């Protein structure tokens, strides 16, 4: 087995046993990145010299007999929405094309303290606004399973990097499904933690009541490992919760009590649900039943019918406020055309924001404007309460809620860019977790006939990440979807990727 095929847990063991140095591990992944990137384009920035320097420091630490961290020598890809001191942090936007943060996000500090190797910054939809990584101002990322498809989004670069074995671990962020949907599209594991579980200090804000940072990996154990490192209270993020962090990696074995899994009737009745996705999801549930779980029917009518509408009012309202800071005065793009203050601000924004960001700022500003506030923003917050109540009621009868992560497998690049509403509906199953603040896990649970991965989503009550990871780990023990490796993209060039039965578009 080559180095880049090893999981983070295996790399840890090999490093601890002295079989692989941090430098050897890092070099293997950098070589893999050089091989894959011409096609996959998962990264916006890779600094090989800096990555090797970090690896040498970890090796020196070990040689000197000092204890090393949980992620010693393990490369981690970082979504380019997190500030890394002195490293470009662009948010895939022209607005921040030359921004170099003067400080590290708390998650980055924690990764450094755990002796991880920050191997590069991964591509995303501009300011995390999108579901396909196509709104990136710089380049699209390709899905390692089929380069004609997108990797999902907004953490599409992180998902593609992990799937293509360019990094064993990656950091994503999830505001409406941006970790789980790309994890599902790329056949990897992605976890959106409970709101407040992970500090957001140094994460560029999109929608502050919804944003959360989380781990992406190829196995549930690796996901648990990365969560263990990044979770915890941070005095610099007043929304982070002062609550002890469980040793997730040591508690992956399911307790013997039978699991009660809730199935939201409405999630399976959605007109746009692809039949192969439905079949794979139902088959996955049977694996749980075969291991003693009971299935409980639950009802989430408001979540199924209205979560997307609520989200596109709440998220855009918050985004319009958060993105007001980009005025071209303190950092970020400033227009070269001389003018008065207001004109300079307005021109700088017009020049540097892409169409999806502008669309959301306008929608959010409208939803918050005098005369429309009650009808749009306030109404959305009331329906958000109804959705939260619905989930609380459902969780009184089950431990987990299960369903598909996304209604379809990955879709072709370009197929929905001019239809924002169809793009938004790709997040119909994931959005509620952000509105309600609960954790959600996406796991590989099958493949479509044309070879695209399908994801199973498990949702749990606030702070029940442990249950999610245990259930996911159990499923992984009896299936091997997570062991499949995408074809080498080089072999796919020149041949036409098999798209004769494309995933049904959700209209």
Partner 1 sequence: MAEQLNRILGFVDQLQAIDTTGIEPLAHPMPLDNVFRDDEPNDSLPVDAALHNAPARAGAYFAVPAVFESEG
Cα 124 to Cα 155, 161, 336, 430: the distances in Å are 5, 12, 27, 18
* Radius of gyration for the chain, computed over Cα atoms and rounded to the nearest angstrom: 21
The reply on whether position 195 binds partner 1 by CB under 8 A is: yes
Q: Which of 18, 65, 67, 102 binds partner 1 (CB under 8 A)?
A: 102
- Which of 21, 131, 178, 348 is the catalytic position? 178
Q: Known catalytic residue: 154?
A: yes
The reply on whether position 370 binds partner 1 by CB under 8 A is: no
Q: Known catalytic residue: 178?
A: yes
DSSP character string of 420-458: HHHHHGGGTTTHHHHHHT--EEEEEEEE-TTS-EEEEEE
Rounded CA-CA distance 148/414 in Å is 9
Contact yes or no for 42/157 (Cβ under 8 A)? yes
Q: Which stretch binds partner 1 (CB under 8 A): 2-10, 41-49, 266-274, 309-317?
A: 309-317
Q: Which of 436, 450, 460, 471 binds partner 1 (CB under 8 A)?
A: 436
Contact yes or no for 180/430 (Cβ under 8 A)? yes
Q: Which of 104, 166 has the CB closer to partner 1?
A: 104
The reply on whether position 447 binds partner 1 by CB under 8 A is: no
Q: Which stretch binds partner 1 (CB under 8 A): 126-134, 138-146, 282-290, 433-441?
A: 433-441
The reply on whether position 371 binds partner 1 by CB under 8 A is: no
Contact yes or no for 130/154 (Cβ under 8 A)? yes
In the range 211-270, which residues lie near partner 1 by CB under 8 A?
235, 238-239, 241
Q: Known catalytic residue: 79?
A: yes
Q: Which of 71, 95 has the CB closer to partner 1?
A: 95
The reply on whether position 464 binds partner 1 by CB under 8 A is: no
> Can you give 313-373 as a three-state secondary structure string?
HHHHHHHHHHHHHCCCCCCCCCCCCCCCHHHHHHHHHHHHCCHHHHHHHHHHHHHHCCCCC
Query: Which sign, positive or negative, has the C-alpha torsion 194, 258, 181, 107?
Result: positive
The pairing of beta strand 189-192 with beta strand 440-447: antiparallel
The reply on whether position 333 binds partner 1 by CB under 8 A is: yes
Rounded CA-CA distance 503/277 in Å is 10
Question: To the nearest whole angstrom, how small is the minimum distance from the Cβ of residue 462 to partner 1?
Answer: 7
Q: Give the residue numbers annotated as catalytic, written as ranges.
A: 79, 154, 178
Q: Which residues make up the interface to partner 1 (CB under 8 A)? A: 98-100, 102-103, 195-196, 209-210, 235, 238-239, 241, 302, 305-306, 308-310, 312-313, 328-334, 338-341, 344, 355, 358-359, 362-363, 366, 375-376, 378-386, 388, 420-421, 424, 434-438, 462
């Amino acid at each position: 087995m080559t180095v880049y095929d090893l999981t983070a847990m295996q790399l840890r063991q090999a490093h601890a046993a002295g079989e692989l140095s941090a430098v050897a591990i890092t070099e293997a992944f950098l070589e893999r990145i050089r091989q894959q990137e011409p096609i996959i384009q998962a990264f916006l920035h890779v600094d090989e010299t800096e990555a090797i320097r970090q690896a040498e420091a970890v090796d020196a630490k070990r040689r000197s007999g000092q204890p090393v961290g949980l992620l010693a020598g393990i490369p981690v890809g970082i979504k380019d929405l997190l500030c890394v001191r002195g490293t470009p942090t662009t948010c895939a936007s022209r607005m921040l094309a030359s921004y170099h943060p003067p400080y590290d996000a708390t998650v980055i500090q924690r990764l450094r303290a755990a002796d991880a190797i920050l191997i590069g910054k991964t591509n995303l939809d501009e300011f995390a606004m999108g579901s396909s990584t196509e709104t990136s101002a710089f380049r699209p990322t390709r899905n390692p399973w089929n380069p004609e498809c997108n990797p999902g989004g907004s953490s599409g670069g992180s998902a593609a990097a992990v799937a293509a074995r360019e990094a064993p671990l990656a950091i994503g962020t999830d505001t409406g499904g941006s970790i789980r949907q790309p994890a599902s599209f790329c056949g990897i594991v992605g976890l959106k933690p409970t709101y407040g579980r992970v500090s957001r200090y140094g994460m560029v804000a999109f929608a502050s009541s919804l944003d959360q940072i989380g781990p992406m990996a190829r196995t549930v154990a690796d996901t648990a490992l990365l969560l263990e490192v990044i979770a915890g209270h941070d005095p610099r993020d007043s929304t982070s919760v002062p609550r002890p962090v469980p040793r997730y990696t040591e508690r992956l074995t399911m307790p013997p009590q039978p699991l009660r899994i809730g199935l939201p009737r409405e999630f399976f009745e959605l007109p746009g649900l692809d039949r192969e996705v439905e079949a794979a999801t139902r088959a996955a549930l049977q694996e749980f039943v075969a291991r003693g779980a009971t299935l409980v029917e639950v009802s989430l009518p408001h979540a199924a019918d209205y979560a997307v509408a609520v989200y596109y009012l709440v998220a855009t309202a918050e985004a319009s406020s958060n993105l007001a800071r980009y005025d071209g005065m303190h950092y970020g793009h400033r227009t070269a055309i001389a003018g008065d203050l207001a004109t300079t601000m307005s021109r700088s924004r017009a020049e540097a924001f892409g169409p999806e960001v502008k669309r959301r700022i306008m929608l959010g500003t409208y939803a918050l404007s005098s005369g429309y506030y009650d009808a749009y923003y306030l109404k959305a917050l009331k329906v958000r309460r109804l959705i939260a109540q619905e989930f609380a009621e459902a969780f009184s009868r089950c431990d987990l809620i299960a369903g598909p992560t996304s209604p379809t497998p990955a879709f072709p690049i370009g197929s929905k860019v001019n239809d924002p509403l169809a793009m938004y509906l790709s997040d119909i199953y994931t959005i509620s977790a952000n509105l309600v603040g609960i954790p959600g896990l996406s796991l590989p649970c099958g493949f479509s006939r044309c070879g695209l991965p399908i994801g199973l989503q498990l949702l749990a009550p606030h702070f029940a990440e442990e249950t999610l990871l245990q259930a996911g780990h159990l499923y992984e023990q009896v299936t091997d979807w997570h062991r499949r490796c995408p074809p080498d993209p080089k072999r796919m060039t020149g041949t036409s990727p098999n798209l004769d039965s494309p995933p049904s578009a959700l209209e």
